[in-house]
Structure 1
């Protein structure tokens, strides 16, 4: 992955979430009623969020965690409540603003314990100035990058992560490949960022097989499929 291709891709994603789909994603990730396809996507995302959070220790006191592509901040707030010092970062400044608003409202209502801390930021998840982390969680973020680029992102995460990477990928299927091809016939301004199908276990295996990933191994894997939502969680940890 070249720096130019990464910047181009992140710019497309930022434009989509900040200008095209902000209202829809606020509804999807909030508690407002939704119907049809969005209901299955919300249900699938909630199941995935619970899966990733469940792979981390219940007590996260002393952990520093990067929530890459934090969106509305739901996962960040849960990890904070369990004692973690969380950096929630997203390309969309508007979504980050929404996450900060949600955090302030929940803490005012005292429905979220303040065992840890959360710092919501808008910017590049690969920015080295973010520092080092015990764990990086990237839920439904790498699905928007071609497999070779997703692996490159994970390599860079691993360079500043002490314990583990938890991420999701879009498992390859005939339906997803067809949707990807159909989407290419629409003008770029009218479509969401593409979701790239991949083989999650193969990508994770290729990742840890590299010489500079010595000491890392593939851990748990879990596919979540609910209606129009299909994603696969993968864990890569230091041995």
Structure 2
């Protein structure tokens, strides 16, 4: 199995079996610890930053929410008028997303469990991938983005873990002291180096730092 496939399977195991309840609570309005609250706020800010790259009026557009998790991004895209396919490797998270979706948006969102790069998902005007590629190496990200680019008319907006001293130290320690019960390890990336693996144009959009949440938004155009 490829590095991509092995990582994808670890991500599925983590989100579908180990941490489903944690992520369900983190992405809800329930009270969480101060550390997790900073992560929640960071994710909210990142979602808003990513959405700012798309038109306010998305009527007539088909959008892929790649790694949709519990469905917050998909719901906001549908509220703008888009027809949304929300896909996630975790069937458990897809079940939560379906339960949370407002009935008024049911005809605008199609939630599916599976691989975000599956060609059977079809063609799109835009692709959004928030924190769903942060566990993969640059070559694997390049292949996924390249795959999606052949089926995306306008842009792919996605996030990576930036190559900061803090995240590099965290990543290095994770390799030295592996633990079978931890989440998959984020792989820090330098945007300029990552661009060499992505056909087309890759531009920095912005970085969000909120406590333990650090993520960088990039935009790809063919």
TM-score by length of 2: 0.94
Question: Does structure 2 conserve the Cα–Cα contact (< 8 Å) formed by 1:26 and 1:72?
Answer: yes
Question: What RMSD over aligned residues (CA atoms) do the two structures have, in Å?
Answer: 1.7
Matches within 5 A, 1:34-53: 34-53=32-51
TM-score by length of 1: 0.87
3-state SS of paired residue (2:186):
coil
Deviations, residues 127-184 of structure 1 (Å, cap 9, x unaligned)? 1111111111100011110122111111111111111010001110121111112223
3-state SS of paired residue (1:225):
strand
Q: Find runs of 4+ consecutive structure 1 residues off by over 6 angstroms.
A: none
Q: Cα distance, 1:36 vs. partner?
A: 1.8
1:189 aligns with 2:187: no
Q: Cα distance, 1:219 vs. partner?
A: 4.2
Identify unmatched segments of 5+ residues in structure 2: none
The count of corresponding residues between Structure 1 and Structure 2 is: 222
Which position in structure 2 is the counterpart of 1:98? Answer: 96
Q: Cα distance, 1:199 vs. partner?
A: 0.7
Distance 1:217 1:101 in 2: 37
Q: Cα–Cα, structure 1 residues 118 and 189, in superposed 2: closer, same or farther, change >3 Å?
A: same
Question: Does structure 2 conserve the Cα–Cα contact (< 8 Å) formed by 1:167 and 1:235?
Answer: yes
Question: Does structure 2 conserve the Cα–Cα contact (< 8 Å) formed by 1:170 and 1:200?
Answer: no
3-state SS of paired residue (1:175):
helix
Which position in structure 2 is the counterpart of 1:234? Answer: 218
